[in-house]
Amino acid sequence: MVISVLLGLVEPTYASDIDTFHLLLEKAAKNQYDSKDSAFYYISQAKDISAKLGGRKLQGKVANREGAIHYIAGNYQIALDKFVEAENIFQKDKNSPDYIFALNGRGLIYLGQKQYKDAIEMWETTLQLNQKINDSTALSKNHFNLGIANTELKNFDLALKNLKMGLGYLKPDTTNQLWFMIKNRLAKTYFDLDDILMAEKYYKEVLSDSAKLNNWEKTFAYTGLAEVKQRQGKYDRALSLAHQGYESGLLVGAFWDLDRVTNALANIYEAKGDYDRALTFNKLHKSYSDSLYSESKDFQIAALELKLAKSDNENLRAEKEIMDDMAVRKNFILSLLIMVLLGFVFIAFIYRKSLNHKEAFNKELKKKNKAIQKQKKEISQKNKTLNQLNEAKTRIFSVLTHDLRSPINSIKQLLELQKEGMFTQEETDQALDLLYEQIVKTDEMMAKLLHWANQQIEGAVVRPQRFSLSKEVEEVIDLYEFQAQAKKINVYHEIIEDVEVIFDKGDLRIILQNLLNNSIKFTPVEGEVRFSYSCNSAGEIMLHVKDSGVGMDQDQINFLKGSDLKMMDSVMGTEKEKGTGLGLLLVKQFVINNGANLEILSKEGEGTEFILSFPQEVAELQT
């Protein structure tokens, strides 16, 4: 009776949670093409429910949808991780729509990385699975994706065939976004074939009911029709359409679409003779293009490391199988010999001989067992060393790529301006001087980073030493002089010559570089950054890095103060500077490793102050 009552209370609650879970997934799917932030909000709520209920399949559904949202936003590496997670969860049921969804998602990542043949191979696999379960919508998506890949490979006839087959699986339905997606792609393929009239026809069909379109498809259609109008010489109409596409693209935040529409705007303004605006949108196009290029390279590096890791695992697995086979054989031989020895016991006249044989066998067996144990111990130690080296390699790679990104980008920007003929001869001479100074500083910075990397190659080790804090601060300020001048930011240093600390010098330099780079990034033009020193009541030296930037909200501050060592989402700087979300993570980790403390004082619109406190036993302020 009691059990029945309890079941009556629990089951409705569980059913309610399941219904809410599926509703949240549906809302995330509806918002993924219009508002990335809303989609992530709903998926986070669904993730909480799946964690509460503890179902692996629910977690797999969340991973699939989260992967789709990250793909649309252009976060290919995270999207791939989510699709692989879902694929592993649904591996046992390969006819499951969720398993096919994960494979389809992997194909989309290959498409985003321009690995078109890999994408086609993946979608041909999902096409066979969808044919088995007779899912017409899924089959339509398969042919749609195959059409896109073949378009990129210039197989236009095959692309048109697949797109039209995909359309054939759907009934005309203006509420089905896939209907619009396929027509958009048909229009783009005809445009690539120079069939302008057919391209215009399909784009207009898509936009004829724009109220029901999501922002992703609006961006694609408006941009495509703008390209058509530009080709026809109707520049004013093309400009109006392109701006509508740009506004929709900003809402979605997908780099690929923003890259396409800003390129179209730059070309249209150039055709109209408005070179200032053409240059503005060309720079935006370059920014989005660079972001896609960086994302592609990061993904390729990660994919290579994954292949190497898999290769290492296969080698270790093969070695283990050989050892297991040897152990089975030895056990078999041991059993056989024991049986022989038991038989010899009953034969009195060879008792002594059999006893000697047994003793000799036991000695050999112990020797072999010791050899096996030694081999196992050596393999275990090698695995441990390999993991430590992999962790050190990853950490060193992250630091080098992150800290060299900013000065290299500065050099790159200066060269691009020179290449575009933006300087007079006098300005060219000044630019060359600046370029030489920046290269010298970057070379010094790289030498110090490589020296630090060589020290870290055997594992993360803190090497404290006594040195002048103000001297290190002054060197870092000098290194970032170009970035500060580019934004007309004044960097002040209230030097106190006798400030000395005991700290890992390489770690501190990385901390200071990232704090200053962060302040410059989020400080508007003609702002300021100030370095100063103080000493608290406990006798600890405190370094203050204060800027007049945009500040941080409370969620960002709480994230940085938390105990988790994970990256925060990257945020654009005041001049659209890109980041990776790694800088403050490195600061946080190195501060913890050295036993120091980092306090953050910030308010939105009023700037940010980082206060780095050095432990009393390793800090000294001589007055």
Which residues fall within 8 angstroms of residue 172, CB to CB, at 6 or more apart? 179
Tokens for 319? Answer: 């070695």
- Whole-angstrom distance, CA of residue 619 vs CA of residue 614: 6
- Only one residue has tokens 């890095």, namely 545
Backbone torsion region of residue 224, taken as left when φ is above 0, otherwise alpha when ψ lies between -120 and 50, otherwise beta: alpha
How far is Cα of residue 361 from the mean position of the Cα atoms in its chain?
A: 58
The CB density around residue 175, as the number of other CB atoms within 10 Å, is: 8
Query: Would you state the structure tokens that stand for residue 255, as one six-digit string?
Result: 């780099």
Calpha distance 498→531 (Å, rounded):
15
pLDDT in tens, 453-464: 555 555 567 889
The structure tokens 């990660």 sit at 302
Element (DSSP H or E) covering residue 566: none
Could you identify the residue written with the tokens 């030493």?
465
Q: Which residue has the tokens 């009239």?
A: 197
Write the burial class of residue 308 (CB in 10 Å: 0-12 exposed, 13-18 middle, 19+ buried).
exposed
At 610, list the tokens: 């980082």
User: Side-chain half-sphere of 600: how many Cα atoms within 13 Å?
Assistant: 23
**CA-wise closest residue to 551 among 516, 603, 514, 491:** 603
Q: What is the residue-wise DSSP string for 235-260?
A: HHHHHHHHHHHHHHHHHHT-HHHHHH
> Cβ(551)–Cβ(607) under 8 Å?
yes
Q: Note every long-range contact of 570-574, with CB atoms under 8 Å and residues 24 or more positions apart, other chains counting.
A: 571/522, 573/520, 573/521, 573/522, 574/487, 574/521, 574/522, 574/523, 574/524, 574/525, 574/549, 574/550
The three-state secondary structure class of 489 is coil
Contact 158, 150 (CB under 8 A): yes
Residue 574: its pLDDT value, please?
86
Cα-based distances in Å from 528 to 69, 385, 477: 38, 46, 13
User: Residue 558 and residue 365: Cα distance in Å, rounded?
Assistant: 61
Q: How is residue 121 written in tokens?
A: 């191979």
Ranges of residues in the chain with a pLDDT under 50 are 1-11, 301, 304-305, 307-312, 385-386, 388-389, 392-393, 618-623
Report the pLDDT value the prediction gives residue 385, as an integer from 0 to 100.
46
Pairing of strands 619-621, 528-535: unpaired
Among the listed residues 396, 377, 398, the one whose alpha carbon sits nearest the alpha carbon of residue 388: 396
List Cα–Cα distances, 595 to 472, 530, 559, 580, 588, in angstroms: 19, 24, 20, 25, 11
List the one residue out of 520, 549, 531 whose CA is nearest residue 410.
Answer: 520
Write down the H helix ranges in 91-176.
97-112, 116-133, 136-152, 156-168
Q: Half-sphere exposure of 491 toward its Cβ, with a 13 Å CA cutoff? A: 23
The Cα 338–Cα 335 span in angstroms is 5
d(CA 504, CA 467): 10
Which pTM does this prediction carry?
Answer: 0.42
Residue of 40, 114, 76, 74 lying closest to 288 (CA atoms):
74
| Residue 511 near residue 474 (C-beta atoms within 8 A) | no
Cβ distance 191 to 199 under 8 Å?
Answer: yes
- Sorted by where each starts, the structural domains of the chain and their CATH numbers stand as 2-215 (1.25.40.10), 462-621 (3.30.565.10)
pLDDT at residue number 257: 82
- Please identify which residue in the block is written with the tokens 């990061």: 298
> How far apart (Å, rounded) are the C-alpha atoms in residues 282 and 259?
10
Query: Exposed, middle or buried, 85 (CB in 10 Å: 0-12/13-18/19+)?
Result: middle
Rounded (10°) CA dihedral 539, 543, 549, 554: -50
142-147's contacts with Cβ under 8 Å and 24+ in sequence apart are: 142/104, 142/166, 143/169, 144/178, 144/181, 144/182, 144/185, 145/104, 145/107, 145/108, 145/111, 145/119, 146/120, 147/182, 147/185, 147/189
